[in-house]
Chain A
Amino acid sequence: MHANQNSALPPGYQLQGYEIKKLLSSGGFSFVYIARDQQEQTTVAVKEYLPNILALRQSGDQVRVPTNETMAGFRFGLKCFFEEGRALANINHPNIVRVLNFFRANETVYMVMQYERGKSLQECILSKNEPMAEPKLRSIFSQLLNGLREVHAQKLLHLDIKPANIYIRRDGSPVLLDFGSARMALSEETSQLPPSYTPGFASPEQYRHHKELGPWSDVYSVGASMYACLLQASPQAADQRMKNDQLTSAVKLGKGIYSPQLLAVIDSCLALDPMDRPPSVFALQKSLMEEVDYPTNDGWFNRIAAFLNQDIIK
């Protein structure tokens, strides 16, 4: 079985009204391409459902689903892909990736999304040798939380917030991507879908029963992502923390780098007990927007300068 050698669609391939330009990324369950919408004359991102272990496409464009057992797996993953489509289709928000179209072709399904220029927060973090500046961190996350509030307002949970899924546009504004793990909160259907998580960013509840999941689980992941901006690596995974918590508190790790207020906020998001986290996304957002004195550059002039510089991303 050589099923993880799926081939991507070639540049120039005509997919309904879209022309494939190039492969952008390949994940465990899909390929993402940059394509040209020929009618609208715009650039779009097209996500193709193609689980690497299940479906087969050695060459050509048709996806073959070889046996009955793999068929069940293929269909199951497809349900998750639809779940992502449903989640996003209902949301029209500047900080949430926008879905433009959803269609069936080549025996699989495709999701067309607005293409954003910029780079992931992960790339931003890794391209620097020092922690991200506090004003920039506050700006990115308070905007991102606008989007997250909208997600929660739709009774959805994202459940896979991490720097790789936060895209930073050229103007510095963030977009939340990849709703492949998104789940309807408080829905019976939750139990039908397999749990997925990213170690370091997933909340402790994600390792336990899905009934414990809530907006507080996304708050943990936001905290872990802010922590990653400081540490420039993933924090200790929650399942390990539950056994032996060795996570250095942000207050300790970031002393002199970020304001004590921000560090305390990060630590509270990362509380193992959901009850100890900020009571709501709104409360968290408010504390990120508070006026504070930064440890260095605390002069009035430097603070203005820092604010002016915050949106510049190479």
Chain B
Amino acid sequence: MRFTIHQNSRNGGRPSNQDRVAYSYSKQSLLMVLADGMGGYLHGDVAAQLAVKMLTDAFQRKAQPLLDDVQDFLLSEINKIQDAIHQLAHNQGLEETPKTTLVVAVLQNNRLVCAHIGDSRLYHFRQHQCIFTTEDHSVVQALLKQGTLAPNDVAAHPDRNKVYNCLGGDIPPTIDISPTRRLHSDDTIMLCSDGLWSYLSADRMLEILDSGRGMPHFINSMLDIAEQLGGAQGDNLSAIGVQWEDILDQDLTISGLATALDQARTIIQPLPDEGLSELSHDDIERAIAEINVAIQRSKR
């Protein structure tokens, strides 16, 4: 099993980040998970953290090195999270249970199984096309399906952020498990929160992916764009992407850990919002002059 993976999460315009994203892998199986703690509720980050932690822990215990039954694993572990959130709310005397969305993918034996609850999404890209996305459990998605809302009116709809299915609610979640999907070499699987997909169409994502500059570039560029478009009011935003390589590898112990050398790219973290002193034209001229003086001085 060989893959290139990258994940990142940012606050956007919010003071705290309630998104959580993680992955875990064995020699033959990979789990990716993303949870968007719901901001309207207290402790959304607690629910998201719990979901991600419980799934990766369970995966580490059970993928030895493959999960026997992926569907069964996802259903039972996700139901345990629902119970754990309620237990936690009860133990801490919280008035309201913390809530989160969830999207999780398991990749093994060149197959993908995905489960989701709410409006965090999975995208499956192959050969310059988006061949699959999960369907949001959101009010606008339901209206779209009924035909009572036009696609162009989604962005302006007052309920565009409302989901009717989540983890941590009073009603047990409906766990939406996708049919098993085949993975080809060079397929890309990407999970993201609504803070990202609200600002980038699948076509725009493909354009960035097709620049062929690797996973870190793909994920970080998308976050950069969504973050800029979200501006000061922007939601938390997160994404994790994997490029799958269907290559037989003799030395499995290393391939799971090492990244191909030519995939090693410098990641530039987000620019800090504060402490950014403006460079004036004079500053630029002065910096250039200083550098040229230094060049002359160090010439021997």
Knowing A75-B278, A75-B279, A235-B258 are in contact, say whether A89-B294 is a contact too (CB < 8 A): yes
| Nearest CB in chain A: distance from B52 CB, A | 14
Q: Which of B216-256 contact A (CB under 8 A)?
A: 216-217, 221, 224-225, 228-229, 231, 253-254
Q: Select B262's contact among A4, A126, A236, beta carbons within 8 Å.
A: A126
| Cβ contacts under 8 Å, A3 to chain B | 225
Select one of A78, A103, A234 contacting B264, CB under 8 A. A234
With a cutoff of 8 Å between Cβ atoms, the chain A residues found around residue B285 in the complex are 104
Q: Scan A171-207; emit 1 where CB is below 8 A from any B CB, else 0.
A: 0000000001100000000011011111111000000
**Bound-complex Cα distance A174 to B209 (A):** 34
Interface string of B260-300 (1 = CB under 8 A from A): 11111111111110011111000011011011101101111
Contact between chains at B276 and A194 (CB < 8 Å): no
Contact B269 A194 (CB under 8 A): yes
Q: Which residues of A contact B290 (CB under 8 A)?
A: 86
* Contact of A232 with B225 at beta-carbon distance under 8 Å, contacts A91-B298, A100-B295, A194-B270 already known: no
How far apart sit A203 and B295, CA to CA, in the bound complex (Å)? Answer: 30
Q: Within 8 Å CB of B262, what residues of A? A: 122, 126, 164
State whether B221 touches A228 (Cβ < 8 A). Answer: no
Assembly CA distance A125 to B260 (angstroms): 11
With A and B bound together, what is the CA distance between A73 and B254 in angstroms?
A: 39
Interface of B is mostly: helix
What distance in Å separates the Cβ of B88 from its nearest Cβ neighbour in chain A? 23
Query: A92 CA to B299 CA in the complex, in Å?
Result: 7
CA distance in complex: A92, B300 (Å): 8
Within 8 A of B (CB), among A233-256: 233-237, 240, 246-248
Closest Cβ of chain B: how far from A171's Cβ, in Å? 21
Nearest CB of chain A from residue B228's CB, rounded to whole Å? 6
Contacts of B278 in A (CB 8 A): 72, 75
Q: Which residues of A contact B258 (CB under 8 A)?
A: 200, 231, 233-236
**What number of A-B contacts does a CB cutoff of 8 Å give?**
136
Query: Using Cβ atoms and an 8 Å threshold, which residues of chain B touch A213?
Result: none
Q: Which residue of A lies closest to B207 (CB)?
A: A2
Nearest CB to that of B221 among chain A residues?
A53
- Distance in angstroms from A83 CB to nearest chain B CB is 9
A198/B294 in contact, CB under 8 A? no
Chain A residues near B225 (CB-CB < 8 A): 1, 3, 53
Is A223 located at the chain interface by the 8 A CB criterion?
no
- Across the interface, name the chain B residue whose C-beta is closest to A53: B224
- Does the CB pair B284–A109 fall under 8 Å? yes
Q: Is the CB of A181 within 8 A of B224?
A: no
The residue that A102 contacts in the complex, of B207, B208, B263, B292, with Cβ under 8 A, is B292
CB-CB under 8 A from B261, the residues of chain A are 122, 125-126, 163-164, 228, 232-234
CA distance A86 to B291 in the complex (A): 5
Cβ contact of A248, chosen from B254, B267, B270, B287, cutoff 8 A: B254
Closest chain B CB from A109 CB (angstroms): 7
Question: Of B211, B229, B284, B295, which contacts A101 at CB under 8 A?
Answer: B295
Kindly state the separation between the CA atoms of A77 and B294 in the bound complex, as whole angstroms: 21
Distance in Å from the Cβ of B273 to the closest Cβ of chain A? 9
Closest-by-CB residue of A relative to B6 is A199
Q: Which residues of A contact B291 (CB under 8 A)?
A: 82, 85-86, 89, 99, 102
Residues of A within 8 A of B295 (CB): 89, 99-102
Q: How far is the CA of A28 from the CA of B218 in the complex (A)?
A: 11
Interface check B257, CB cutoff 8 A = yes
Q: In whole angstroms, how far apart are the Cα atoms of A234 and B260 in the complex?
A: 6
Inter-chain contact A192/B254, CB cutoff 8 Å: no
Q: Is A90 engaged at the interface, CB distance under 8 Å to the other chain?
A: yes
Q: Chain A contacts of B265 at CB under 8 A?
A: 28, 198
B161 lies within 8 A of chain A by Cβ: no
User: Please, how many angstroms separate the alpha-carbon atoms of A191 and B269 in the complex?
Assistant: 13
Whether A90 pairs with B294 at a CB distance below 8 angstroms is yes
B221 engages A79 (CB within 8 Å): no
Which A residues are in CB contact (< 8 Å) with B297? 90
Known A-B contacts A86-B290, A100-B295; the reply to A194 vs B228 at CB < 8 A is no
B259 interface hit (Cβ, 8 Å): yes
A160 contacts chain B at the CB level, 8 A cutoff: yes
Is A181 in contact with B257, judged by CB distance below 8 angstroms?
no
With contacts A76-B276, A102-B288 taken as known, whether A196 is within 8 angstroms of B267 at the C-beta atoms is yes
Residue of A whose beta carbon sits closest to that of B257 = A236
A69 within 8 A of B: yes
Please list the residues of chain A having a beta carbon within 8 angstroms of any beta carbon in chain B. Answer: 1-4, 28-29, 52-53, 69-70, 72-73, 75-79, 82, 85-86, 89-92, 99-104, 109, 122, 125-126, 160, 162-164, 180-181, 191-192, 194-201, 228, 231-237, 240, 246-248
A-B CB contact pairs (8 Å), 15 listed: A1-B225, A77-B271, A78-B284, A82-B291, A103-B288, A104-B284, A104-B288, A109-B288, A122-B262, A125-B261, A181-B266, A194-B268, A232-B261, A234-B261, A234-B263
Known contacts A78-B284, A103-B288, A200-B259; 10 additional CB pairs below 8 A are: A72-B276, A85-B291, A90-B298, A92-B298, A102-B292, A102-B295, A126-B261, A160-B266, A199-B216, A199-B267
Complex A-B, nearest 3 residue pairs according to Cβ-Cβ distance, in ascending order: A89-B294, A233-B258, A234-B259
